[in-house]
Amino acid sequence: MKRIAASLVVACLLLGASAFGQQITFSNRKATLKNISKVLEKQAGISLITTRATNAVIRPTAVHVKNVSVEQFLDAFFKDQPFRYEIIGDMVTIVPRENHSRIAPSQVTIRGKILNEQGEPIPAATILVNGSNKYTTTDDNGEFTLTGVDTNFNIVISSVNYEPRELNWQGESELDIRLKHRISELNIVNVVSNGYQKQTQAKATGSYARIDNELLNRRVSTNILERLEGVTSGLVFNKNVNPNTNQSTISIRGRSTIFANPNPLIVLDNFPYTGDINNINPNDVESITILKDAESASIWGAFSGNGVIVITTKKGKYDQPLKLSFNSNVTVGKKPDQYYLPMLDSKGFIEVEQFLFNQGFYDGQDASPFRPVISPVVEILLKIRNGELSEAEAESQLNLLRQQDKRDDVDKYLYRNSVNQQYSINASGGGNNNHYYFSAGYGKNLSNLKRNDYNRVTLTANNTVLWFKKAFELNTGIIFTETNQHNNNIGNISLTYPYLKLADAQGNALVIPSDVRQSYKDTAGGGQLLDWDLRPLDELKLSDNRFKQTEYRINIDAKLKIAKGLDAAVIYQYNRGFGEQNDFKSQQTYYTRNLINQYTEETPDGKLIYHVPLGGILDQLTTDYEAQNVRSQLNFNKSWFNKGKSKFHALTALAGVEVKRFEQEYETMRLYGYNKELQTSTDVDYETLYPLYHAPALTEKIPYANLRRTNTDRFVSYYLSAKYIFQRKYILSASARKDESNLFGVETNQKGVPLWSVGAAWEISEEKFYHVHWLPFLKLRVTNGYNGNVDKSVSAYTTAFKEGLKNVWGAPVGYIINPPNPSLRWEKNHMINFGVDFATKNTILEGSFEYYLRKGTDLIGNSPLDPTTGVTQFRGNTADLKGHGYDLVLRSKNINKQLKWLSVLLASYTTNEVTNYKVKQAAIWYYGDPNYISPVEGKPLYSIFSFKFMGLNPSTGTPIAYLDGDTSTIYSAIYGSNKLENLVYNGPANPTYFGSLRNTLSWKQLELSFNITWKSGYYFRRPSIEYFNLFFGGSMGHPDYEKRWQKPGDEKFTTVPAMVYPADQASQTVYAYSDVLVEKGDHIRLQDIQLSYDFVKNRNERKQPFIAFRLYVYANNLGIIWKANDKGIDPDYINSIPNSRTIAFGVRFDF
């Protein structure tokens, strides 16, 4: 017994699995080995290893125990058996009750290697000779030697995280054994990559979110990043992004910067991805890892402040037979709902035009020698006034217009259902010393806009070879992508009046007013000029705008084993991409005809001079980028025991240097008088001011659009990362990085602060004192460190910009864009992350909870500067920001029978607060204007601030607002005030709570899943009527017009101000930014539903050529289930039409 206990202790320490605190209760009069095995499995998570031989000899025995230890329980069963038991790790083996350490000289020695499915060695696996107490463990190379073993015995191999395996030794001199990962949803088996190394999430201290292949493929999309939406903890897709305010479309754990780059770093395999994200074929992606905290991301230093998205592509595997896979799907999307965005209807719009006409508003335009556009309705009204049209005739014309709605024609003539197709085929496999992956993909998207389409071809080849006794590994990869795009349909932007029509009843294209007054166009030039009419439907046919992109990427990785546990790697990547946009506007297009006509000059003798030559116009935009990365890295990986084998240590470390060069050329070119066939063009005089044909008092130069620029990014980075594991349950990690670049100027780099992090984790459930049965897995983590952020727009020097265009005197010019800033520093982002990972028994419920604190210091900010300095805006390290939040992930097996019901709940909270921002905007209206970033100390960076709406003036219907403690209607004083107290803070403008609930139901081969997402804790400003903009053509109006104040008393039931002439921009601003137009953004959405059928080939069925196939249907953008606002606004789409519903059908074959 003593001996058993001793070996037990050794075994426990060895495997770090001493969790036998479980109490077993069992009662059976005739307990068989099978019963015992089940109980052990269920109540203690221990497997019992049996062989047929032992099964036959073990007798059923009566066992009655209550709350006893595993040992006591086993003792009770084995006390009268011819066998006894021995516990090794989390396994129990049965040993004959005779001398168990006999070693006869005739016995043999077995050598072997234990590998995982990827062909990687498994260190510290246990090899046990079944039925004896003889065992050994593998070394770091997964190799083992068992000496003095009886022939014809089974050996059992086990290791944490792997399925135990038993096999019969049949005389092989060297065994090569593969172990399979335990099939579990527990995230502890996940392998996460940070772009520098791969590690199991179980031994990580940092915060990772991993999207595996299955989850990635649940969604159907052309763009890989879209597939992260709603399934990634802590990651949110921002909607209604305003490009003027430096918002990003994706944010991980909220916001870390103000004016610097707000986008997460995207890493493809080893290096930051510099190309167009659409060039990545999702079918080539194996998994995606999101690095969320300082520890996981700090290895990326100055690039990691916004989190990192690591995309890992598919590779072949060693010792795998050729596998072919084919995937194809078709996605059909509805037309976007043209009627979603509120628009003042034709009836209302005409009413407004009549009102303005009667006020004499259009008289100036009518008389203007510049011949501005006058709307069809106003032309009719003018004709009545001039007596050219009878009242009755005019009224019938107006009635016709009142019934027209431009959206009918837009929907009918400009849009269609979208159809996206994807085809992808890949082949992978590998032998002992090599593996490969080849793929080809083709996708074709017909967009919702007619005549706009996109297609993509991708080719991938990856090859890995092992040489010199597996000491040297060489990996080569080539990826090629070509995309072709047509952008011929610009949508409805030229339709500026709601009653315009695109086509007559016969479908013939109709003329709409544009640029120059139509009545003038009709007669101008007496027929000498080119046709001056704009017919959008014809334009759609004539448009010829193509965009072609080619990109390729070549990787060479070489890894050399230098010594045991130490290898050196050199990784090189060459990446190049070209893009060329050719927008050919033939002489038939309106753009060209209009430009030629405007720049036509009539000589006194009636001859025409075309300053813009006849012929087409070609606009060309080319981009060409080249990125090169080289990394030299040393990897150290060693684990060892102390002498008494009682202490286990493991150390992994890496250190390296990385150099990056990125160069991008950007060129735009315009050719006038372009002949597409001959590819010839005509020179024009860009310097002379020409009088415009329709307005000779105006003189303009011919538009010049030639530009060339090169951007260069260069980085030299040093990094270091290490992790130490003690007893498999205590983990310490640290990393550091220093970046130097050409962006700041060398002086600043020399002062550069290295960014670093430290982390620790403790697998508390591995401790002896841990006795919580229902929670067999519990791990605590904490990390602390700094990330950084890059801003390309700043420099330590006085920087000037050289203009492409010369001044009117023919001399080149430059201007200063950046005043000198010798104290410029890198932005720093401090993050502390606390995490708990847990799993209940049999992983019925598992998940993690993480809480983080973040603080951005030395943030680069644009701050208004006293204009007396000569600079109105200054960029420097001027701001601080802090935030905190949590991410919760819960996975549950609600039903786990033949019918399975799994749920995954993601819930995140994130908030931020500007803690230091010294500069205030000059007037408070800036805080309401969504086109400015106006940080306010103590409030989130993006906040909704409003004027306090105090009702409508009962006698005039104009808005009343709050000013300096009282109501006020002096609008210029209200919005011009600089006291923040005159504003109401409504709340954050971005969701603070968000998450998703994904339920998966499966029955046999059928699987149904649907994802519900929500966002809450934020506000948005809804649009309403803006009279000033409506009058001056800046807005199409809003149906709130119908609810406007019209007579005293209306103020009791409406908040929409009266229409007043002349319109007051100040009053409009006060109403538009008032709190009466602020709504809560909270909403719940049914994002998508997926249905699939999997067929796996029966082993006996030989006729089928495929191993497996899968049929799937995926419906996306299904719509809102609940929203807090009652205005019919989807808070994700305030000023845009929601993404249309799509449905995809697909099939995948594996051969």
Between 800 and 844, CB nearer to other proteins: 800
Q: Whose Cβ is closer to other proteins: residue 64's or residue 709's?
A: 709
Least CB distance to other proteins at residue 1028 (A): 9
The number of helix segments (H) and strand segments (E) in the chain equals 19, 57
- With beta carbons less than 8 A apart as the criterion, state whether 247 and 904 touch: no
In whole angstroms, give the CA distance from residue 301 to residue 1146: 41
3-state secondary structure at position 667: strand
d(CA 224, CA 214): 13
Q: Which is nearer to other proteins, 34 or 918 (CB)?
A: 918
Nearest-approach distance from CB 937 to other proteins, in angstroms: 16
- Cα–Cα distance measured from residue 394 to residue 378, given in angstroms and rounded to the nearest whole number: 11
Alpha-carbon distance of 63 to 27, in angstroms, equals 6
SS3 for 34-71 is HHHHHHHHHHHCCEEECCHHHHHHCCCEEEEEEEECHH
**Contact at 8 Å (CB) between 266 and 300?**
no
Which CB atom, from 57 or from 813, has the smaller least distance to other proteins? 813
Nearest distance in Å: CB 716, other proteins = 5
Least distance (Å) between residue 983 CB and other proteins: 13
57 vs 659 by CB, closer to other proteins:
659
Q: What 3 state SS string does 482-506 have? A: EEEEEECCCCCCCCCCCCCCCECCC
**Two tokens at 1024?**
């309403």
Minimum CB separation from other proteins for residue 874, in Å? 6
Q: Smallest gap, in angstroms, from Cβ of residue 877 to other proteins?
A: 13
Residue 147 CA to residue 168 CA, distance in Å, equals: 16
Helix (H, G, I), strand (E, B) or coil at 537: helix
Question: Of the two residues 364 and 1049, which places its CB atom closer to other proteins in the complex?
Answer: 364
Shortest Å, Cβ 368 to other proteins: 7
Q: Which is nearer to other proteins, 252 or 860 (CB)?
A: 860
φ, ψ dihedrals at 62, nearest 5°:
-80, 130
Task: Using alpha carbons, select from 1043, 1052, 1046, 1051 the residue that is nearest to residue 1025.
Answer: 1043
Other CB atoms closer than 10 Å to residue 893's CB: what's the count? Answer: 16
Distances in Å between the alpha carbon of 687 and those of 597, 600, 608, 703? 19, 16, 20, 10
Toward other proteins, which CB reaches closer, 154 or 742? 742
Smallest Cα–Cα separation from 914: which of 951, 941, 878?
A: 941
Residues 886 and 850: beta-carbon distance below 8 Å: yes
Element housing 697 (H / E): none
User: Coil, helix or strand for 302?
Assistant: helix
Q: Return the number of the residue (475 or 717) whose C-beta is nearest other proteins.
A: 717
The single-letter DSSP state of residue 790 is -
Residues 788 and 829: their CA atoms lie apart, in Å, by 6
Question: Smallest gap, in angstroms, from Cβ of residue 572 to other proteins?
Answer: 8
Question: How far is C-alpha 232 from the geometric centre of its chain's CA atoms?
Answer: 9
Work out the number of other CB atoms within 10 angstroms of the CB of residue 853: 14
Angle (nearest 5°) at CA 755 between 752 and 757: 160
**Are the beta carbons of 1077 and 984 closer than 8 angstroms?**
no
State the nearest-atom distance from the C-beta of 781 to other proteins, in Å. Answer: 35
Question: Which CB, 121 or 864, lies closer to other proteins?
Answer: 864
Q: For residue 305, how far is the Cα from the chain centroid?
A: 15
Judged on CB neighbours under 10 Å (0-12, 13-18, 19+), 522 is: exposed
414 and 449 in contact (C-beta within 8 Å)? yes
Closest distance of CB 871 from other proteins, Å:
6
For the CB of residue 700, give the shortest distance to other proteins in the complex, in Å: 9
CB 976, min distance to other proteins, A: 2
What DSSP designation does 729 have?
A: T
- The least distance separating other proteins from the CB of residue 979, rounded to whole angstroms, comes to 11
With vertex at residue 375, the alpha carbon angle to CA 373 and CA 379, rounded to the nearest 5 degrees, is 105
Closer to other proteins by Cβ: residue 1033 or 1119: 1033
- Residue (85 or 925) nearer to other proteins, CB: 925
Distance CA 70, CA 89 (A): 13
Are the beta carbons of 73 and 65 closer than 8 angstroms?
yes
713 or 1042, CB closer to other proteins? 713
Q: Is the Cβ of residue 643 or residue 802 nearer to other proteins in the bound state?
A: 802
Minimum CB–partner distance for residue 947 and other proteins (Å): 13
Residue number, 658 or 1040, with CB nearest to other proteins: 658
> Minimum distance between the CB of residue 740 and other proteins, rounded to whole angstroms?
6
Q: How far is the CB of 713 from other proteins (least distance, A)?
A: 7
666 or 834: whose CB is closer to other proteins? 666
- Choose between 243 and 364: whose C-beta lies nearer to other proteins: 364
Indicate if the alpha-carbon torsion angle 870, 875, 877, 880 is positive or negative: positive
Eight-state DSSP code of residue 410: I
Q: Around Cβ 589, how many Cβ atoms within 10 Å?
A: 20
What string of H, E and C letters represents the secondary structure of 254-274? CCCCCCCCCCCEEEECCEECC
- β-sheet bridge partners, residue 481: 458, 551
Distance in angstroms (rounded) separating the CA atoms of residues 1048 and 652: 79
Q: Which C-beta is closer to other proteins: that of 369 or that of 965? A: 369
Instruction: Copy the structure tokens of residue 37.
Output: 């095995």
Q: Please, what is the minimum distance in Å from the beta carbon of residue 827 to other proteins?
A: 17
User: What kind and span of H or E run contains 115?
Assistant: strand 108-115
CB of residue 794 vs other proteins: minimum separation in angstroms? 10
